[in-house]
Amino acid sequence: MTATAANDHQPLLFNAEPILNEIRHGLDQLLAAGTATIIDLQRLPFGVDDEQHLRDTLGDGEVHATIDSLGKSSVQETGVAGVWWVTHYSDDGAVLGNFIEVTTIPEILKSQRPDIEHGLRKLRTNLGADRSTATAQE
């Protein structure tokens, strides 16, 4: 076998095309039944050009959010609406998880009920403290 065969600049793809097809099916399901699909990219073997091919094909979308909880997380909508790239990092910036979510909005972006309840308690306490302070000054 000669080196020429590998130097023809054809991308070496392993799982990019199957993943893109899974995303296509996921979008069909999302539109038809509202069902979300999550693909764990770290548990799939990638060829050297797979991730770039995925990023090139999906492109960049309009939303890019950063979450700061147990290390940073990046949540980015791709150029295909309803397809999100969710990446979780450790405190020192190492990638811990890499997911594609086909959904209207990833669950982790939503405010969660226990956190809302905690926030409300905190706000009530602060307001109570403020009222006490105001009363004392009158």
In the bound state with other proteins, the residue whose beta carbon lies nearer, of 34 and 114, is 114
- Phi, psi angles (nearest 5°) of residue 92: -95, 15
Distance CA 66, CA 69 (A): 10
CA distances from 121 to 18, 36, 125 (A): 47, 32, 6
Q: Which of residues 48-107 bind other proteins (CB under 8 A)?
A: 48, 67, 69-71, 73, 88, 90-91, 94-97, 99, 107
In the bound state with other proteins, the residue whose beta carbon lies nearer, of 1 and 136, is 1
Give which of 79, 51, 87 is closest to 63, Cα–Cα: 79
Q: Number of residues interacting with other proteins: please give it, by CB under 8 A.
A: 40
In the bound state with other proteins, the residue whose beta carbon lies nearer, of 70 and 127, is 70
Query: Which positions from 12 to 51 touch other proteins by CB under 8 A, shown as an x/- string?
Result: xxx-----------------------xxx-xxxxxxx---
CA distances from 124 to 14, 113, 129, 131, 135 (A): 55, 16, 8, 10, 16
Structure tokens, 108: 């982790």
- Can you give the binding site for other proteins, defined by CB under 8 A? 1-3, 5-7, 12-14, 38-40, 42-48, 67, 69-71, 73, 88, 90-91, 94-97, 99, 107-108, 111-115, 118
